[in-house]
Amino acid sequence: MIPVLFADEHFIIINKPHDLLSVPGKGPEKQDCVGRRIQAESHPTARIVHRLDYATSGLMVLALTADSLVQLSRLFQEHKMCKRYHAIISGTPTEDNGIIEQPLRCDWERRPLQMIDHDKGKYALTRWERIETLTDSTRVFLYPQTGRSHQLRVHMLWMGHPITGDRFYADEKALSLSDRLMLHAEELSFTHPYTQEPLSFLAEAPF
């Protein structure tokens, strides 16, 4: 069963396993997903508010009512959901922290891959900080300030340090360092849209 870390009458917080779709895809082999599992296991009215990539693990919020879906979606749209990701990237950055501002768009010839495009891309910003230097890789925290598809994965690639185990963007060395994408949505903080209570949830990275 997918772990449910918090639940009230408005929404739930879950810890998504890696290699699981957030929503169903096209074809019978892509019907297993977070939304359907949660509906079957514990919360029949649960609805997806936002997505994590298939290969990414970590915290997700699911709405339990139509109104909470609207309220929570608005928090994401207004960038009022504070997210921290835990990742392991290939190599060692020369700096301890930084900001990446590189616009992104779909790479139509290689969908669903994304690419940097300064003419047609949408604004994307990521803050990052080094946590630990490992033998051939580095443990980092990533703070996306926008929510573009594959944003963290492409921004780390642009920096020259792809996330290890990334089957879409990693080079051969980075791919060989892990058998899974080393990216986990570890912390999520926001103000409860109904009670106005500040909330913070943590699901430590399993790597």
Establish whether 53 is a catalytic residue: yes
The letter for the amino acid at 70 is: V
- CA–CA separation, 207 vs 47, rounded Å? 28
Find all residues with CB under 8 Å of 138, minimum gap 6, and list them: 88, 89, 91, 92, 93, 130, 131, 132, 161
The residue from 53, 67, 136, 179 that is catalytic is 53
Encoded tokens for 202: 């943590």
- CA–CA separation, 114 vs 180, rounded Å? 19
Q: Which residues pair with 122 in a beta bridge?
A: 104
Q: How far is CA 193 from the centre of its chain?
A: 21
Please list the active-site residues. 53
